[in-house]
């Protein structure tokens, strides 16, 4: 299943980069606290990127285009 492959590729980022944390949609962490504590925000299909950018954080948006 393609969605599982994509999800697993994102989750594997945590293994490759020790300072990388991948949060899934059901995560109960405070988004604003995480943005505040982060140097960079990488987001996929959410409003978090716009909110982080508004807060002055360096933001990278990624998505799969066809």
DSSP state of 42: E
Give the pLDDT confidence score for residue 13 in this predicted structure.
86
Is residue 1 scored above 70 in pLDDT? no
Spatial separation of the C-alpha atoms in residues 10 and 34, rounded to whole Å: 18
Kindly report the pTM of this predicted structure: 0.65
Quick: pLDDT tens for 18-55.
Answer: 888 888 878 898 989 999 999 999 887 788 899 999 99
- State both tokens at 46: 């959410």
Give the pLDDT confidence score for residue 37 in this predicted structure.
92
């Amino acid at each position: 299943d393609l969605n599982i492959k994509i999800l697993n590729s994102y989750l594997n980022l945590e293994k490759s980069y020790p300072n990388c944390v991948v949060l899934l949609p059901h995560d109960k962490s405070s988004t604003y606290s995480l943005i505040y504590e982060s140097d960079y925000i990488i987001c996929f299909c959410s409003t978090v990127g716009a909110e982080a950018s508004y807060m002055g954080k360096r933001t990278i948006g990624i998505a799969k285009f066809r």
